[in-house]
Structure 1
Amino acid sequence: MTEAPVEQAVARAHREEWARVVAGLARRFGDLGLAEDAAADAFVAALERWPRDGVPPHPGAWLTTTATRKAIDRLRRESHRDAKHRAARMLSDDVPPEPTGPVEDDRLRLIFICCHPVLSMPARVALTLRLLGGLTVAEIAHAFLVPETTMARRITRAKAKIAAAGIPYRLPSSADVGDRLAGVLAVVFLIFNEGYLATAGDDPVRADLCDEAIRLGRLLRMLLPAEGEVTGLLALMLLLDARRGARVSRSGELVTLEEQDRSAWNRALIAEGHALVRERIAAVAACEGRPGRYQLLAAINAVHTDAPSARDTDWAQVVTLYDRLVTVDPSPIVRLNRAIAVAEVDGPDVALAEVDRLSDALDGYHAYHAARADLLRRVGGRSADARAAYDRAVALAGNPAERAYLARRRDQLV
């Protein structure tokens, strides 16, 4: 086998098996740092041995066995870790790990550890991308525009905090899983949002982060197929990402939903997202339950992506869905987005009154001023106020494509 196919096989194994290998090692040895290092050693060994020996028929099993041996070797070399050193001497390579349920539980356990509430949100994001996504420290640092040394310290501190807090390598209790799952989903959606509309840097859209968040969403759905919010989040990300190719013009300017070329949307992602939304609608109807935040956001985006043009959008249905969302998540941002939909049903004057009531809560949020500027432009006779609102939005926006769009809209005012 030539080198290129082997490298492709290793890259594919890295995408498919990294999280499984790291999670299994973390559960077996109770040490995130050791798990990460041993997994990396195994992939290095694959690059060295697979060109000579051939790609094994079961790459994941080969990597797990090799990584386990690497971990044991590391423990034996580190004599200052006496307790673990003694434990390692009792381990033989052919002793199976203790039974803990399906192998997928290892990855699920690792997700909950990476997103533990004891960690700050930036630390949760970094650790999730490193241990579940397999991204290098340099890649994560680049994604979030911090020096590599800063990101390395952030990840190291996060692992040390988990060890110091004595966080067990198991799933949270059933009483805690709801709250903990909400935090996990928030981390994944934050990763997606940073890719979908980057808050800083020269790239308006970070496709790598969008793809990674969707991959994590698929993993979560595979591990938790009965959790409605997991399915809702995956559907939401798919429906948003389907519009990626139409969101930035060739000149580097943001293209709003109303102005997008819908023929450029990814129909396969839309079909998959719609199927997931229909699945959740049927499930909610069957048990008369209440859909959560991500399910409602996915339903709203299903309405948008179902319309052949912006003017054909069922805005009344969008407002109805936002009314339900407000009961679940009454945050100012949700109310702002609801007001934008209200403008299409009841007119910009009604919507502007609702938006103005959010000024105290959202004065530092660029999207608030952008929405208000658009409404002021539409009501007529308030060009000076609209210009001031656009100025404020441009000053607050960190995304270059968004700034370009807002500046053009401002300069078009009479």
Structure 2
Amino acid sequence: MQQRLDTLWRMESPALIARVARMLGGDIGRAEELVQDCWLVALERWPAEGMPDNPGAWLMTAARNRAIDVLRQHQRVAEQHARWGEVLHPAAPVAPDDSDALGDDIGDDLLRLMFVACHPVLPADARVALTLRLLGGLSTQEIARAFLLPEPTIAQRIVRAKRTLAQKQVPFEVPREAALRERLQSVLEAIYLVFNEGYAASAGDDWMRPALCEEALRLGRVLAQRLPLQAAVHGLLALMELQASRSAARVDATGHAVLLDQQDRARWDWLQIGRGRASLQAALQLGGDDEPYVLQAGIAECHAQAREAARTDWSRIAALYARLLEVQPSPVIALNAVVAVSRAEGPFVAWARLQPLLQDPRLQGHAPLWVVRGELLSRLGRTEDARQAFAHAAALTTNGREREVLLERARDPG
């Protein structure tokens, strides 16, 4: 019963909060409070009375009724102030017509909530926390556990984020076409940050956090359904689907990490690969050839097409990375391009391309830089130097499983 209730909350709470927030003129904090009140009532009643046939509809009705009560209360206060000759500021909201004719191009409350939670006035870490809270239905404790941070830290981020949105008077809307692209980038970044933390945990003892991957995929699918003409959206969904398809093969029976070349590709989810490739084709048909997420999805597709590691088309991957580096210059992308070049053209060519990155101050504390250095040194026959590079990379990482892999490489660079 408890597991069913937890699942129901995660499925229904985003839509409930979104609908109530729209009714209250975008007051997300108040909307969340009202929805949580309804949920508490449900938790008290349902175990004794039984769960309704349509619990989602029950919750939506209860939440809407509470929102209407709040609006009526505001209206009564406004009328009293008007009778007393006082000016109420700001003006009390008028209960809206709760229809779906909402006056914008998309008319979807959940999409509005996504754009508000990922608004660029918030720092990236606050967007992620608020997205998981409002759109993922995760508790503050669950978010803190996922990111290995103290619960008060996450709670403060969420509170500050809500306060900032209120102070900045961020409208509860999907931006019009002129501003959609800029704001959409913020939404996509937040979703991908959630996915990346699930796919390759930045700290702790787990190699992956599958629940975060699933939340990011769910949000990506919602976004693709609601914004079907945005190539970047389909590109991100394709990238996440293709990467997530390898999840089952990324750890062995004991939970230890398995690197890409050693993975049992029979354990890859080939149905998910099919979904990812379909999303990639949709992005390309929309003219998204040079969208960064589309280019990254193309790289992931190259790996997905290779039933054996030796058959990977590294020349194609290197070309895609070269184009990605032109579109989105970044030292991390440049480092990934070096890896592709090393596989396509050999370690000597890659070693020359690595040298400028070894001097880049932005990468000095980036463990993958030293992993790539170790890989190339090993292939060049410089075993002792490779050991030192892998050991340095292990010292930089905060993920326990990744550290195990790197220390093993330090012991046996070959």
TM-based fold match above 0.5: yes
C-alpha separation between the residues in 1 aligned to 2:20 and 2:274? Answer: 37
Structure 1 residue corresponding to 2:60, chosen from 43, 54, 64:
64
User: Which one-letter code corresponds to 2:386 in the other structure?
Assistant: A
The structure-2 alpha-carbon separation of the partners of 1:250 and 1:111, relative to structure 1 and needing over 3 Å to count, comes to same
The structure-2 alpha-carbon separation of the partners of 1:281 and 1:173, relative to structure 1 and needing over 3 Å to count, comes to closer
Q: Which residue of 1 aligns with 2:82?
A: none
The structure-2 alpha-carbon separation of the partners of 1:8 and 1:141, relative to structure 1 and needing over 3 Å to count, comes to closer
**Is the counterpart of residue 348 in structure 1 residue 343 in structure 2?**
no
Query: 1:17–1:60: 8 Å Cα contact kept in structure 2?
Result: yes
The structure-2 alpha-carbon separation of the partners of 1:386 and 1:298, relative to structure 1 and needing over 3 Å to count, comes to same
**Is the counterpart of residue 15 in structure 1 residue 18 in structure 2?**
no
Query: 1:75–1:84: 8 Å Cα contact kept in structure 2?
Result: no
Which one is further off, 333-342 or 7-16? 7-16
RMSD, aligned α-carbons: 2.7
Q: How does 1:257-268 map onto structure 2 within 5 Å?
A: 257-268=260-271
Q: CA deviation at 1:223?
A: 1.2
**Is the counterpart of residue 281 in structure 1 residue 284 in structure 2?**
yes
Q: CA deviation at 1:167?
A: 1.2
Q: CA deviation at 1:9?
A: 6.0
The structure-2 alpha-carbon separation of the partners of 1:208 and 1:84, relative to structure 1 and needing over 3 Å to count, comes to farther
Q: CA deviation at 1:149?
A: 1.7
Deviations 1:41-97 (A, max 9, x none): 222333344456665555443322211223345677899x97699947x759xx635
Q: Which residue of 2 aligns with 1:366?
A: 367
Q: CA deviation at 1:408?
A: 0.7
Q: CA deviation at 1:121?
A: 0.9
**Is the counterpart of residue 25 in structure 1 residue 20 in structure 2?**
yes
Does the residue aligned with 1:358 lie in a helix, a strand or coil? helix
C-alpha separation between the residues in 2 aligned to 1:98 and 1:368? Answer: 51
Query: Gaps spanning 5+ residues in structure 1: where?
Result: none
C-alpha separation between the residues in 2 aligned to 1:193 and 1:261? Answer: 22
> Identity across aligned pairs (percent)?
44
Q: How many positions carry a matched residue from both structures?
A: 401
Q: CA deviation at 1:40?
A: 1.5
Q: Which residue of 2 aligns with 1:40?
A: 36
User: Which one-letter code corresponds to 1:178 in the other structure?
Assistant: R
C-alpha separation between the residues in 1 aligned to 2:317 and 2:404? Answer: 28
Deviations 1:197-234 (A, max 9, x none): 11111222111111111111111111111111111111
Q: Which residue of 1 aligns with 2:85?
A: none
Q: CA deviation at 1:413?
A: 3.8
Structure 1 residue corresponding to 2:232, chosen from 196, 204, 229:
229
TM-score of the superposed pair, with normalisation by structure 1: 0.89
Query: 2:347–2:376: 8 Å Cα contact kept in structure 1?
Result: yes
Which one is further off, 231-240 or 352-361? 352-361
Query: Gaps spanning 5+ residues in structure 2: where?
Result: 79-87
The structure-2 alpha-carbon separation of the partners of 1:96 and 1:290, relative to structure 1 and needing over 3 Å to count, comes to same
Q: How does 1:243-322 map onto structure 2 within 5 Å?
A: 243-284=246-287, 290-322=289-321
Which one is further off, 348-357 or 15-24? 15-24
C-alpha separation between the residues in 1 aligned to 2:49 and 2:223? Answer: 34
Q: How does 1:11-410 map onto structure 2 within 5 Å?
A: 11-29=6-24, 30-50=26-46, 55-56=51-52, 58-73=54-69, 87=92, 91=95, 96=98, 99-100=101-102, 105-284=108-287, 290-359=289-358, 360=360, 361-380=362-381, 382-410=382-410
TM-score of the superposed pair, with normalisation by structure 2: 0.89
